[in-house]
Amino acid sequence: MAIRHYWSMAVAAVGFRLVLVLFGGDLHLASRPEVSTPLTSLRRLAEGYWLKQASMSPYSGSMYHGSPLLLSVLGPLTSKRSGGHHSHIYCSLVFVAVDFIAAMLIRSTGRTLQMARNRSLKSLDLRKSVNNSVNVSAGDTASLIYLWNPWTIITCVGSCTSPIENLMVVIMLHGACSRLAPLAAFGYVMATHLSLYPAILILPVALLLGYGPDTPPTKVFLQKGLSANKIDMSDNGKGTSQKGFGQFSWKPILHFILWVFIWSCYVLLLNSIILNKVGGLQEMFEKTYGFILTVKDLSPNIGVLWYFFAEVFDFFRSFFLIVFNMNIIFMVLPLAIRLKHRPCFLAFVYTAIVAMLKSYPSAGDSALYLGLLGLFANELAEMQFTFFLFFGYIGVSLLSPVMHNLWIWRGTGNANFYFATGLAYTCLQTVLVVETVSSMIKHDRKLRLLTKA
């Protein structure tokens, strides 16, 4: 069931962005802590570019912490000024295009997923009973959610580089879903290079390349095979087709690894060329990855780490740095084992967890995982607490600027007020992750029960 007026809605979303880019200069979104972080701020990028033009290391002065590649791609655009508009208009136009491409890639990923789903449901003879209840076009829904999500819009308009990071993750998923190892490897290398955390997405990507897109668990197919065999022992064709599911093929993975190697060498080479004479690769790693991992900048953002590290005693700092960074790693393996049959969904869960626990989170990270959430519209139709989550997100995103205003401008509040919003936001995300995972598992269980019947 495709969504009516898809294209007009998509074009309207792009048009809305353009209107905001051209006339929304007074919104000052770029200075909001929810939108731009020290890593993604375009103002910092402009500063880095300026330093580099002056033959200095772009990382000197602790202003810029992004990739040198962005510097040479977006840098020249930041220095161009046009009267009457806000300063980074050309970059913003680039981001609009980037958002649109990302949405299109999400759409085609959704199509691939939908096809895989229909195929596996067909082989389970469940098409009718499941599709009766819900059948929306996942790709269209997801890309529309991505395009019309207010957070994506403010990220796009708000002069920060998050849209590009998101695009790389989407490229990676798209490449992995359509089993294009070079594309997936490119997305993976770039996303990791730009913001480090997507590195943990190697597991879903490997599973995607190995097993193919999301399917019901292997157990269901085995069961189906068993009952089918009982009914009709002679039907060999079906048995072989079921064996196709759940088989892990190593070839694309080796392919992927090879390409990852090639792309990383290429990216490092480009970086070292760009940074030639103005600081080396080591400084780059220190100032980007080091900056991410050691949480040096404690200016407020919507996460929870800034507050914690502002409070913690210095001699405990390294301990807690290890704890917080390991926190993300701890969750990787158990989730991968539980959700190995649904690698795309696993990637969504990982991005949500990263958005929650990363050191400098912003609305852009949430925009990515909320967009990906739409891909599983059919499977998550029975999710609980959706009403609560929806209004919770709205409430938090309105509360955050108010609390910030109370603390910074009016002086009647304090840091705790703003941090409370961050806590509430993290709780909401936790509820979202827990609910999505549990309803996905429930969905799988339901499929199992239906096959048995």
Partner 1 sequence: MEPSAKEDKQPKPRLIVRLGIFLASHHILFSALCCSAGIMALLFLPSLAKNTYLSENALIPGSANPLFSSEDVTEANKFIKGIEAAAGESRGGMEMSKFIVQQMKDLGAEVCYHEFLPHSKHFHPLKFFTSMTNDLAVRPNGTYSNSGTNTIGIIRAPRGDGKEAIVLVTPYNPQKVQANEVLSLALGFSVFSLLSRAAWLSKDIVWLSADSQFGEYTAVSAWLNQYHNPMFVGGVKHEPDGIAEKAEFTDFKRAGTMAAALIFKVGETRNYGDRDSVTMYAEASNGQMPNLDLLNVVHYLAVHRQGFRVNIETISSLLSSAWLRAIAEVIHTLGSILRKINPDWKLDITASDYVEGTANLASSIYNQALGVPTGSHGAFRDYQVDAVSLEFSPTFYIRNENAKSSFLVRGGRLLEGVVRSVNNLLEKFHQSFFLYFLTAPSKFISVGVYMIPFALLVAPLPIVAAALADGSRKKGESIDASKTKGSADNLPTEVGSWKWLQAARVLLVIQLWAVIVSLLPYYISQIPDGTPIQSSVIWVVLAILTLIVLYAMFGSPYSAGVEWKLLKATMITSISIGLGLMSIINFATAQLGALIVIPMCLFSRPLKAQLGMSFLPRTVLCASNILLAIFGFPPAALLIMKGLSKGSWTVDLGDFWASMEFLWEWSSATYLYLFLVHLPCWLLCIHVLLHPCRQVGSKVKRE
Interface with partner 1 by CB under 8 A: which residues? 28, 129, 133-134, 381-384, 386-387, 390-391, 394-395, 398-399, 401-403, 405-406, 409-412, 445-446, 449-450, 452-453
Pairwise CA distance, residues 437 & 414, whole Å: 36
Return the number of the residue (133 or 234) whose C-beta is nearest partner 1.
133
State the nearest-atom distance from the C-beta of 394 to partner 1, in Å. 6
Residue 382 to residue 158: CA distance in whole angstroms = 35
CA-closest candidate to residue 397, choices 355, 352, 363: 363
Least separation in angstroms between residue 124's CB and partner 1 is 14
Least spacing, CB of residue 61 vs partner 1, in Å: 24
- State which residue, 128 or 277, has the beta carbon closest to partner 1: 128
Task: Count Cβ atoms within 10 A of the Cβ of residue 349 and give its class: 0-12 exposed, 13-18 middle, 19 or more buried.
Answer: buried
- Give the gyration radius of the chain's Cα atoms: 23
Single-letter code of the amino acid located at 259 = W
Please, which residue, 129 or 264, has the CB nearer to partner 1? 129
Nearer to partner 1 (CB atom), residue 241 or residue 386:
386
CB 298 within 8 A of CB 310: yes
Q: What gap in Å lies between CA 112 and CA 175, rounded to an integer?
A: 11
Looking at the DSSP bridge assignments, the partners of residue 41 are: 160
* Residue 393: C-alpha distances to residues 221, 264, 429 (Å): 38, 37, 9
Helices (H), 275-357: 281-285, 291-294, 305-311, 317-338, 343-357
- Asked if 207 and 217 touch (Cβ cutoff 8 Å), the reply is no
Q: Which two tokens stand for residue 71?
A: 């510097």
Q: Which is nearer to partner 1, 249 or 384 (CB)?
A: 384
Picking from 235, 343, 287, the residue whose alpha carbon sits closest to that of residue 48 is 287
- Name the minimum Å distance from CB 185 to partner 1: 37
Q: 55 or 132: whose CB is closer to partner 1?
A: 132
| Minimum distance of partner 1 from residue 89's CB (angstroms) | 20
Q: Which is nearer to partner 1, 1 or 276 (CB)?
A: 1
In the complex, the smallest distance separating the C-beta of residue 413 from partner 1, rounded to whole angstroms, is 8
Beta bridge partners of 160: 41
Q: Is 390 exposed, middle or buried (0-12, 13-18, 19+ CB in 10 A)?
A: exposed
Which lies closer to partner 1 via its Cβ, residue 60 or residue 405? Answer: 405
Task: State the minimum distance, in angstroms, from the CB of residue 356 to partner 1.
Answer: 22
* CB 415, CB 307: distance < 8 Å: yes
Judged by beta carbon, residue 316 or residue 391, the one nearer partner 1 is: 391
Q: Minimal distance in Å, beta carbon 390 to partner 1?
A: 7
| φ, ψ (nearest 5 deg) of residue 72 | -85, -20
Smallest separation, CB 104 to partner 1 (Å): 24
